[in-house]
Amino acid sequence: MAALYITSSQAGAGKTLLCAGLGRHLKGKGKKVGFFKPLVAAIKSKEADSDTAFIKRVLSLKEPVDDLCPVIGGEVKLAGKVKQAYARVAKDKDIVIIEGVWRQRPGGESVESSYEVAKALEAKVIVVEGYSPDLFQTKLADKYQGFGEDLLGVVINKVPMSRMEAVRELGGVVLGVIPEDRTLLGLTVAELAELVEGKVVNDAGKSVELVENYMLGALSVDSGLDYFGRKDNKAVVVKGERPDMQLAALETSTKCLVISGDGSPIYDVLHSAEGKGIPVIVTDEDTASVMDSVEQALGMTKFNQEKKLPRLAEIMKQRFDFKALYKGLGLAA
């Protein structure tokens, strides 16, 4: 049986994304895939449970979340504790994907525990890096030399399209390059509503829909239809006092309407939105604040929606070295 440890030195770099993408790929190739996320901490966070529940659904795993994501507790006799918990989820599997962390913080997991867990489970290692210009200042192989020969490579995530070629030319231990992608970075309508401290005021049945683009209200009604028609799968942010713009946005491919500032949608807007099945979010935040919140959130978007999986598979087929993965893990393709 093979073990693959996926870790990162950064929060939000894309560990869960890679676990889901690789897990689905391997499962599609007929492999029996398991998942394990040991926590070297005093308590388990809701985020850890949420990520694990998502992978459990994606890989159709039968084990309970508490077995997939156990709290090991402290770093005393860490290797033995991890092995014992790991044995419960590794039974009858061809490969187990282990999501780890690599960070130093009081009372939390440390760099040392990341090395120790990977070594204890005899796992090969992939490190996920979020794109940064600093990538070109350090040799990646030197940065992660602590993993020794167990390091299969590094995956660079959220790379601007203008920098894709430069990142590919890093070569060496780079195993995959994942570009910035609107679908992968997308928020759901429900997540957007929470982000802007708003609420969905009509039928929330489409709150799980993904929003890929964002637009502000047009300057005039005459230009509205043409302007709003330039992007699909979008959220349109319009001031509360502009129902004319709100109605124009609803005539185009819109995932949701965000009404900003102090105001409620008029009857005509709600009636049109309900007829077209478009959620309406109302928030007290002004338009600029809404867009600032969205911009900041996109860099830390969680990968927890099944609707993103087909796009991820498409990207990884083009941008990830599966041949090197199979060779490194000793698996038949």
Residue 296 has a pLDDT of: 86
Q: Pick 110 or 313 by higher pLDDT.
A: 313
Computed over every residue of the chain, the mean pLDDT equals 88
Residue 258 has a pLDDT of: 97
Residue 23 has pLDDT above 50, yes or no: yes
Write the single-letter amino acid at 126. Answer: I
Give the domain 187-298 fold: 3.40.1390
3-state secondary structure at position 329? helix
Residue 107 has a pLDDT of: 47
Do the two domains 2-183+302-329 and 187-298 of this chain adopt the same fold? no
Residue 233 has pLDDT above 60, yes or no: yes
Phi first, then psi: what are they for 45, rounded to 5°?
Answer: -85, 155
Beta strands in 165-246 (DSSP E): 174-179, 187-188, 199-200, 210-211, 213-216, 234-239
Q: Pick 171 or 98 by higher pLDDT.
A: 98
Lowest mean pLDDT among 168-177, 220-229, 280-289: 220-229
CATH code, 2-183+302-329? 3.40.50.300
Residue 230 has a pLDDT of: 92
pLDDT digit string, tens, across residues 30-77: 999 999 998 766 555 667 678 899 999 999 999 999 899 887 765 556
How much is the pTM? 0.86
pLDDT digit string, tens, across residues 161-183: 999 999 988 878 999 999 999 99
Q: What is the helix, strand, coil percentage profile of the chain, to 5? A: 45, 20, 35
Residue 185 has pLDDT above 80, yes or no: yes
Residue 144 has pLDDT above 60, yes or no: yes
Section 127-131 average pLDDT:
93
Section 266-276 average pLDDT:
95
Residue 269 has a pLDDT of: 96
**Could you tell me the pLDDT band of residue 137, with boundaries at 50, 70 and 90?**
confident
Lowest mean pLDDT among 42-46, 174-178, 187-191, 247-251: 42-46
Residue 248 has pLDDT above 60, yes or no: yes
> Pick from 77, 76, 96: which is nearest to 86 by CA?
96
Strands 199-200 and 213-216 turn out to be unpaired
Domain locations along the chain: 2-183+302-329, 187-298
Section 199-215 average pLDDT:
88
**Could you tell me the pLDDT band of residue 156, with boundaries at 50, 70 and 90?**
very high
Phi first, then psi: what are they for 100, rounded to 5°?
Answer: -120, -175
Residue 46 has a pLDDT of: 65
**Could you tell me the pLDDT band of residue 105, with boundaries at 50, 70 and 90?**
very low
Residue 108 has a pLDDT of: 47
Residue 102 has a pLDDT of: 53
**Could you tell me the pLDDT band of residue 255, with boundaries at 50, 70 and 90?**
very high
Q: How far apart are the first and last CA of the chain?
A: 15
Q: Give the span between the Cα atoms of 151 and 4, in whole angstroms.
A: 10
Residue 204 has pLDDT above 70, yes or no: no
- The residue length of the chain stands at 333
Q: Dihedral of the CA atoms 154, 155, 159, 163 (nearest 10)?
A: 50
Phi first, then psi: what are they for 239, rounded to 5°?
Answer: -65, 150
